Structure 1
Amino acid sequence: MARISALLLSLLTGQACAHTFIWGVFVNGVDQGTFKGVRIPAYNGQNGKGGYNNSPVKDLDSIDMRCNVMGDIQAHDTIKVQPGDNLTFDWHHEIRNDTDDVIANSHHGPSLIYISPDPPTENSFVKLWHSGKYESNPFPQAGKWSTTSDIAKHFGHMNVRVPEGLKAGHYIIRAEMVGLHEGDVSYVQNPKRGAQFYPDCVQILVEGDGEVELPEGVSFPGAYSYEDPGVVHNVRPRLSKL
């Protein structure tokens, strides 16, 4: 297993075309190990020249919107947590260290985190956290967005707490970053553009004697629509004609 993990790591760190995904998880500040519990997006060929992880996903009706490409395949291990624990997802682009750019500096957009029982069912994903544009700057600047001005500037760290009193059992955390740099039109209007979604799932086992069950949530695919203003959005709007 160690040899397989080392080989996987060497392949991933050599991908100059890789997009952003979760490389590790900290529980209350303790690193659980590279890729432990993470459903790593599938490696895809790109015109026979190298490849990438996470295409990204742009088709809102695709099953890849749930946990990315081949994301319904179980990871080899699961992270044990307690209700109330703080989870830090360590996002990276090409290599897991603080020199990595995490996500391209043009990929402005929101970040979101959902939780679902594992395996998920209809409307089982419940949102735990989200952050979008939190500061406007004068035209033509895009302003400050969660992906580029928060997560990337904090070395790829995205934080969330396991709900207090959550009932013990197997869950998946669906964390996501969204790039709106080509989101001025929808994917169905122009498949070469459209919002870029970077979902990734982490397997957790909640322990303890909690009794709180998750409420009804949303489904992936299905939670987002091309009519949603947050899906089709121009991060650098042009001045209106006089």
Structure 2
Amino acid sequence: MKLLAGLSFLTIAATQVAAHYRFTSLIANGVNTGAYVNVRQNTNYNSPVTDVTSTDFTCNAGGRTAGSTTTATAAAGSTIGFALDQAIYHPGVINVYMAKAPSTAASFDGSGNVWFKVYQLSAVTDGGSTIKFPSDNISQVTFKIPSTLPAGEYLVRIEHIALHSASTYPGAQFYISCAQVKVTGGGSRTPSPLVAFPGYYTGKEPGITINIYYPIVSAAQVYTPFALTLVFLFAHSQLPMFSQDPSICNQTIHMPSPSAEEYLHTMLENMTSHLKDP
């Protein structure tokens, strides 16, 4: 009996580990550049980060330094992305942020209020009776670099927030990777708002501590700085959407220059490209 119990425990543990995944490769110029060539190697195998206050929350465990990671080159306005070592297994949402390095991406640890969002793949709800997660079972994520982004070297941070056991904190699982990219071309518009990782999330936001099974959340219950705009724009296409990116709900959208409109446009374009996929 003890042997059977032990085997059952090992089976469950192995299943849980197998259900984990990593964003291991950068996709640039239409090419998968290879595992941990342009993506910083993490040191916690495929385990998620659950503490939003940890320095591991920047670029995963071991990801605040470049190690042997090299920097890829991609043009502003071009499509880049991340490939996983296996398909996403848990229900959740994806957010992608970028941060401009003061000098080189390789020497940048990503600290401070430097991150701006360029992409999100959110949950889809009909208003309270069903909820779907478009990130389920995908093995790569692609998005566009804003065309007016200033040239320079950047860290590109992707996170998948797995919400299958997020009814209490810390329950949400963050699968995080950072790539190093040198952006060429572009313009001179400055992205805004800028946030810090760690620092942006408290762990108590409704997009982190949430029961996705019951009751089904509606579009009005969870949102991000951009989500109210997104819901309005998609209302006429009968695609009521909300983001479960756990941004603070009372945060204001800051638009000090036309640049913010450009980044919002790029993010909308990135989202609609996925919504059109079968």
User: Could you tell me the TM-score, scaled by structure 2's length?
Assistant: 0.63
Name the CA distance, whole Å, in 1 between partners of 2:131 and 2:127.
Answer: 5
Match of 2:85 among 85, 89, 92: 92
| Pair 1:125-2:115 in alignment | yes
The count of corresponding residues between Structure 1 and Structure 2 is 193
Name the CA distance, whole Å, in 2 between partners of 1:131 and 1:76.
Answer: 26
Match of 2:161 among 153, 174, 178: 178
Deviates more, 1:126-135 or 1:230-239: 230-239
What is the CA distance between 1:22 and its match in structure 2? 1.6
Residue of structure 1 equivalent to 2:135: 147
Residue of structure 1 equivalent to 2:30: 29
Residue of structure 2 equivalent to 1:62: 54
Tell me the secondary structure at the aligned position of residue 62 of structure 1: coil
Write the deviation string for residues 82-139 of structure 1: whole angstroms up to 9, x where unpaired: 111100211223xxxxxxxx122xx211110000013234211001111221145997
- 1:1-242 superposed matches below 5 A: 17=17, 19-43=20-44, 53-74=45-66, 75-93=68-86, 102-104=87-89, 107-118=90-101, 119=108, 120-135=110-125, 143-148=131-136, 152-153=137-138, 156-187=139-170, 194-208=171-185, 210-237=187-214
Name the CA distance, whole Å, in 2 between partners of 1:209 and 1:183.
Answer: 39
Name the CA distance, whole Å, in 1 between partners of 2:62 and 2:163.
Answer: 23
Tell me the secondary structure at the aligned position of residue 57 of structure 2: helix
Tell me the secondary structure at the aligned position of residue 17 of structure 2: coil
Write the letter of the residue equivalent to 1:83: A
Name the CA distance, whole Å, in 1 between partners of 2:214 and 2:153.
Answer: 43
Tell me the secondary structure at the aligned position of residue 26 of structure 1: strand
Write the deviation string for residues 156-193 of structure 1: whole angstroms up to 9, x where unpaired: 12111111122221100001101111101112xxxxxx
Tell me the secondary structure at the aligned position of residue 17 of structure 1: helix
Name the CA distance, whole Å, in 2 between partners of 1:131 and 1:125.
Answer: 17
> Measured at CA, do residues 135 and 216 of structure 1 come closer, stay the same or move farther in structure 2, by a change above 3 Å?
closer
Write the letter of the residue equivalent to 2:57: M
Write the letter of the residue equivalent to 1:31: N
**Is the Cα contact below 8 Å between 1:137 and 1:144 reproduced in 2?**
no
Q: Which runs of 5+ in 1 are unaligned?
A: 1-15, 44-52, 94-101, 188-193
Name the CA distance, whole Å, in 1 between partners of 2:186 and 2:85.
Answer: 34
**Is the Cα contact below 8 Å between 2:32 and 2:83 reproduced in 1?**
no
Name the CA distance, whole Å, in 2 between partners of 1:238 and 1:26.
Answer: 38
Name the CA distance, whole Å, in 1 between partners of 2:128 and 2:205.
Answer: 25
User: Could you tell me the TM-score, scaled by structure 1's length?
Assistant: 0.72
What is the CA distance between 1:24 and its match in structure 2? 1.7
Write the letter of the residue equivalent to 2:96: I
> Measured at CA, do residues 227 and 209 of structure 1 come closer, stay the same or move farther in structure 2, by a change above 3 Å?
closer
Structure with bigger helix share is: 2
**Is the Cα contact below 8 Å between 1:26 and 1:32 reproduced in 2?**
yes
Tell me the secondary structure at the aligned position of residue 65 of structure 1: helix
Write the letter of the residue equivalent to 1:211: S
Write the deviation string for residues 5-37 of structure 1: whole angstroms up to 9, x where unpaired: xxxxxxxxxxx9362222222224223233221
**Is the Cα contact below 8 Å between 2:75 and 2:186 reproduced in 1?**
no
Write the letter of the residue equivalent to 1:131: L
Name the CA distance, whole Å, in 2 between partners of 1:230 and 1:117.
Answer: 26
Aligned identity (percent) is 29
Q: Which runs of 5+ in 2 are unaligned?
A: 1-15, 102-107, 217-278
**Is the Cα contact below 8 Å between 2:156 and 2:179 reproduced in 1?**
yes
Name the CA distance, whole Å, in 2 between partners of 1:133 and 1:88.
Answer: 19
Name the CA distance, whole Å, in 2 between partners of 1:41 and 1:136.
Answer: 37
Name the CA distance, whole Å, in 2 between partners of 1:78 and 1:144.
Answer: 35
Tell me the secondary structure at the aligned position of residue 124 of structure 2: strand
